[in-house]
Chains A and B, each alone.
Chain A
Amino acid sequence: MLTKLKYLWQIIRRLSGDDAYEVYLKNFHKQQCKHDNTECPKPLSKADFFKQWQDDKWQGIKRCC
């Protein structure tokens, strides 16, 4: 039961964008550090990431009639 609730909570967070920064970090480490063993650039802070994420999200047509 607890597992199902956790799973539901994960879906709600993903749908709402609440975990967008965690997804970004996971992807950042996967993408940025895979070819470079010496130095890895720093990821954006949560506040900076969130600002860019929101701006990107509203660049195109996102809502319909």
Chain B
Amino acid sequence: MNKILKSTLWILVAILGASAVGCIAVNRGENINALWFITAALCIYTIAYRFYAAWIAATVLAIDSTRATPAERLENGRDFVPTHKWIVFGHHFAAIAGPGPLVGPTLAAQFGYLPGTLWILFGAVLGGCVQDMVTLFLSTRRDAKSLGQMARDELGAIGGTAALIATFSIMIILIAVLGLVVVNAMKHSPWATFTVSATIPIAMLVGIYMRYLRPGQVIEASALGVILLLISVVGGRFIDEHNTLRLLFDHEGLSLAWFIMAYGFAAAILPVWLLLAPRDYLSTYMKIGTITLLAVAIIFLQPNIKMPAITQFIDGSGPIFGGKLFPFVFITIACGAISGFHSLIASGTTPKLLSNERDICMIGYGGMLLESFVAIMAMIAATVLEPGVFFAINSSAGVVGSNALDAVNKISAWGYPVTVEQMQILAQQMGERTLFARTGGAPSLAVGMASIFGKAFGDGLLAIWYHFAIMFEAIFILTTLDAGTRVGRFMLQDMLGNIWPKMGQTSWLPSVILTSGIVVGGWGYFLYIGVIDPNGGVNILWPLFGIANQMLAAIALCVGTGILVKSNKLKYAGITAAPLAWLVIITSTAAWQKITSPDLRIGFFSAANDLADKLASGELPTEKTAIAPQLIFNLHLDAWLTLFFVSLLWLIFIDMLRVCWRYISGRSVLPLSESPHINSCLLDDWVRD
């Protein structure tokens, strides 16, 4: 009876999920309620977790709860500490959930709500969650080794080197694109610039408090910091309305880019306790608090989605970024569906806290499900806006024109009516001078979040909610920027240390300054490229970031597939090989199009050639003539970088196939580097409460 009841319950969940997905998929021309998205997501996640993840854990990975984890065997009270599963889950989720799942779905909404939503749901349960879970498992079985170390140990030197280069490359592009998002959110917005700037002294104050005034009192210091952050959001209005003070915080994109580069350099060389660590505490609390608030508000308010299911921009003519639905929706949404960056957290960091292998399913698979849910909420927040408003905010002046009237006429002609008055009123409500051409995804997401929060908690505070959302996005973008620059510095020091050992000393000041300068110079240049780009920069940088991130995911899945084959689990290797094949297809197709497409908004070389022709024939306006040579160089650089990424991907993919083929044909391969089985003594300890 109990079994029948359970089966019936699961059948009902499946029917409800299928109905919700069907409702989302077949709806055309009518408003659809956001609750359908939540229902579809929850049902799919529940079924995937209960059946697919459980099957992978039990049958494919053969998780062994009696086996001692690295946290138990190598316990040192610092980084290796057996920890309660929910606390590990919290740490893991806080580490993997960055701005990616918020920005990607917002940009991909230009195709309509349907393609992005389906990719977030199915990409996560079949790809992203599997990647995170398998990587977590493999690292746990290998003394919490990093992805690069596992690639080197299991596939060979080629795999290890490729993983190292890929990690460094993605770090550079990631920081540049996130920097661009922040710059575009602060451009000519004194309120936003003040609030974001205020996070720096607030973080330093919290750092000093935790270091000298009350050492180790993390909760009270963080509470103080959160209160000060909220005061800075409210205080930004005063700055904005003050005729003199507002000028101090009213800047062009390029000036802001220089500020961010200077900030990134300072953050990389300052001690971690002063800026990086306290900022991370604040951003983690803000992130978890705001995402929870958004979820509650969406469930409570049940807003209607106003964006159509599919727009005409699936043909590649989209105003936010060029490129057809296939493959660009899969490149644009990385973090909400599958993100290679997660494999860096799932290896090396989380396994050091894991007290029992049986928690791998919940933390690896479940953590990514929650991230996917965040992406669904971002999609809802972006698509509850009137489509005309959405496109007016996200379309660059280079696409729709710098004049407000031209922009609304063009957007209205696409079939998404919007007026100048409507945009002016909205900007006024949000406490901004204008919301036209605020590209990058953060402003439109902030408007969407403010609308939801405003409806749920009162319309009178829309401007405060908008700037709260901007601060919320900026604070953890800057945390990623700080942390990424620092990690890039360590990686570069490590590499240079092989040539000159002194350079490898992480505390030697000349090495610190040189390597920090190189890393900041690397991402700073790409940020500069994005800022001076007439089309807003997102069109160039976001696809590059997507390709790099999916390349890293492919490397993680190559390691997973290679180890499964070497473990005599060829028949189950499809769990990683299938998403790997999909990633290879979409990444290669996107890279091919970015390099060879004759469409000027897609192909880097064709855009460079067109610009060169116009420059030679004197067709360019004066202001563009001055920067044209640099734009041409940048486009060539982007094309070669894309080619480099896709070559790296194929190199490791072929290397993985070589290792698998050698193993299957009975030839020698590197042995499995799994640590020996030692019985766990923690089964009845407090960590298993």
Interface residues of A (CB under 8 A from B): 11-18, 20-21, 23-24, 26-28, 31, 46-47, 49-65
In the complex, the answer to whether A11 meets B216 with C-beta atoms within 8 Å is no
Query: Within the complex, which residue of B83, B277, B480 is in contact with A64, where a contact is CB–CB below 8 Å?
Result: B480
- Identify B219's interface contact among A12, A31, A46, CB under 8 A: A12
B339 lies within 8 A of A20 (CB): no
Q: Which residue of B lies closest to A28 (CB)?
A: B77
B81 touches A23 (CB 8 A): yes
A21:B216 contact, CB within 8 angstroms: yes
Contact between A64 and B342 (Cβ–Cβ < 8 Å)? yes
Residues of A within 8 A of B334 (CB): 65
Question: B126 near A: Cβ within 8 Å?
Answer: no
Given contacts A21-B216, A27-B75, 12 further A-B contacts (CB under 8 A): A13-B219, A46-B215, A47-B215, A51-B211, A51-B273, A58-B276, A58-B486, A61-B483, A63-B98, A64-B97, A65-B178, A65-B341
Segment at the A interface, from B317-325, B344-352, B585-593, B658-666: B344-352
Q: Are A64 and B341 in contact (CB under 8 A)?
A: yes
Between A and B, how many residue pairs show CB distances below 8 Å? Answer: 116
Residue B95 is within 8 A (CB to CB) of chain A in the complex: yes
Shortest C-beta distance, B47 to chain A (Å), equals 26
Task: Give the residue of A23, A51, A55, A65 whose beta carbon is less than 8 angstroms from that of B480.
Answer: A65
Determine whether the beta carbon of A18 is less than 8 Å from that of B219.
yes
Is A63's CB under 8 angstroms from B95's CB?
yes
A24: chain B residues at CB < 8 Å are 77-78
The residue of chain A having its C-beta at the shortest distance from the C-beta of B271 within the complex is A55
Q: How far is the CB of B108 from chain A (nearest CB, A)?
A: 15
Tell me if B642 counts as interface (CB < 8 A to partner A).
Answer: no
Report A-chain residues with C-beta under 8 Å of the C-beta of B127. none
**Can you report 15 A-B residue pairs in the complex whose CB atoms are below 8 A from each other?**
A11-B86, A16-B218, A16-B222, A18-B219, A20-B218, A28-B77, A50-B216, A55-B272, A57-B277, A58-B483, A62-B349, A63-B98, A64-B342, A65-B100, A65-B545
What is the chain A residue whose CB lies nearest that of B170? A65
Complex partner residue of A18 from B83, B218, B272, B339, CB under 8 angstroms: B218
Asked if A11 and B87 sit within 8 Å, CB to CB, the answer is yes
- B residues contacting A by CB (< 8 A) are 75-79, 81, 83-84, 86-87, 90-91, 95-100, 146, 167, 174, 178, 210-211, 215-219, 222, 271-273, 276-277, 280-281, 334-335, 339, 341-342, 344-345, 348-349, 476, 479-480, 483-484, 486-487, 490, 545, 549
Min CB gap A16→B, angstroms = 5
- Please, how many angstroms separate the alpha-carbon atoms of A23 and B78 in the complex? 9
**Which residue in chain A gives the minimum CB-CB distance to B477?**
A65
Q: How far is the CB of B268 from chain A (nearest CB, A)?
A: 11
State which of B77, B222, B479 has its C-beta within 8 Å of the C-beta of A23.
Answer: B77
User: Which B residues are in CB contact (< 8 Å) with A56?
Assistant: 78-79
Interface centre among B77, B167, B276, B476 (most CB of A within 10 A): B77
Q: Indicate whether A54 sits within 8 Å of B215 (C-beta atoms), given known contacts A15-B87, A62-B95.
A: no
Measured CA separation A24–B83 after assembly (Å): 13
A2 to chain B, nearest CB (A): 17
How far is it, in angstroms, between the C-alpha of A47 and the C-alpha of B213 when the chains are bound? 10
Determine whether the beta carbon of B87 is less than 8 Å from that of A14. yes
Task: Given A16-B219, A21-B216, A50-B210, answer yes or no on A65-B272 (Cβ-Cβ < 8 Å).
Answer: no
Central interface residue in A26, A56, A58, by most chain B CB within 10 Å? A58
Question: Among the listed A16, A18, A23, A60, which residue makes an inter-chain contact with B146, where contact means beta carbons less than 8 Å apart?
Answer: A60
A57 to B278, CA, bound (A): 12
Give CA–CA (A50, B100) in the complex, Å.
31
A residues near B349, Cβ cutoff 8 Å? 60-62
- Minimum distance in angstroms from A58 CB to a CB of chain B: 4
Q: Tell me the bound Cα distance from A28 to B86 in angstroms.
A: 24
Tell me the nearest residue of chain A to B101, going by C-beta. Answer: A65
Q: B79 near A58 (CB under 8 angstroms)? A: no
Report how far A15 CA is from B222 CA in the complex, Å: 13
B215 contacts A53, CB within 8 Å?
no
| Residues of chain A contacted by B280 (CB below 8 angstroms) | 62-63
**In the assembly, what is the distance between CA of A12 and CA of B351, in Å?**
20
Q: Are B272 and A58 in contact (CB under 8 A)?
A: yes
Closest approach, in angstroms, between the C-beta of A62 and any C-beta of chain B?
A: 6
Shortest beta-carbon distance from A65 to chain B in Å: 4
For the complex of A and B, the 3 pairs showing the least CB-CB separation, nearest first, are A27-B77, A47-B215, A65-B100
Q: Whole-angstrom distance between the alpha carbons of A50 and B97 in the complex?
A: 25
The chain B residue sitting closest to A49, CB to CB, is B216
Task: Find chain B residues with CB under 8 A from A28 CB.
Answer: 77
Is B211 a contact of A65 with CB atoms below 8 Å? no
* B219, A54: Cβ atoms closer than 8 Å: no
Q: Is the CB of A63 within 8 A of B480?
A: yes
A54 near B273 with CB under 8 A, answer yes
How far is B90's CA from A24's CA once the two chains are assembled, in angstroms?
20
Residue of A16, A49, A60, A65 most packed against chain B (CB within 10 A) = A65
Q: Which residue of A18, A26, A59, A64 contacts B216 across the interface (Cβ within 8 Å)?
A: A18
B490 (CB) vs chain A CBs: closest residue: A59
Q: Does the CB pair B339–A65 fall under 8 Å? A: yes
B residues less than 8 Å from A60 (CB atoms): 146, 348-349, 487, 490
Contact B277 A58 (CB under 8 A): yes
Which residues from A are CB-within-8-Å of B490?
Answer: 59-60
Is B222's CB under 8 angstroms from A54's CB? no
Minimum CB–CB distance from B518 to chain A (whole Å) comes to: 18
Residues of B within 8 A of A54 (CB): 272-273, 277
Question: Once the chains bind, are B344 and A64 in contact (CB under 8 Å)?
Answer: yes
A59 CB to nearest B CB, Å: 7
Q: B483 is contacted by which of A11, A13, A20, A63 (Cβ under 8 Å)?
A: A63
Which A-chain residue is minimally distant from B220 (CB atoms)? A18
Please give, as numbers and ranges, the residues of chain B lying within 8 Å of A53 by CB-CB distance: 78
**Contacts A58-B276, A59-B490, A61-B348: A27 and B218 contacting too (C-beta < 8 A)?**
no
B76: which A residues are within 8 A, CB to CB? Answer: 27, 31
Minimum CB distance partner of B104 in chain A: A65
Cα of A51 to Cα of B95 in the assembled complex, Å: 21
From the candidates A27, A50, A63, name the one contacting B211 in the complex (CB within 8 A). Answer: A50
Residues of A within 8 A of B91 (CB): 15
B75 and A31: CB pair below 8 A?
Answer: yes
Q: How far in angstroms is the closest Cβ of chain B from A42?
A: 15
Residues of A within 8 A of B339 (CB): 64-65
A27 nearest CB neighbor, chain B only: B77
Q: Return A28 CB to nearest CB of chain B, in Å.
A: 6
Residue of B nearest to A50 (CB): B216
Please tell me if the beta carbons of A16 and B348 are within 8 angstroms of each other in the complex.
no
A63→B272 contact, CB < 8 A = no
A43–B83 alpha-carbon span in the complex (Å): 21
Contacts of A12 in B (CB 8 A): 219
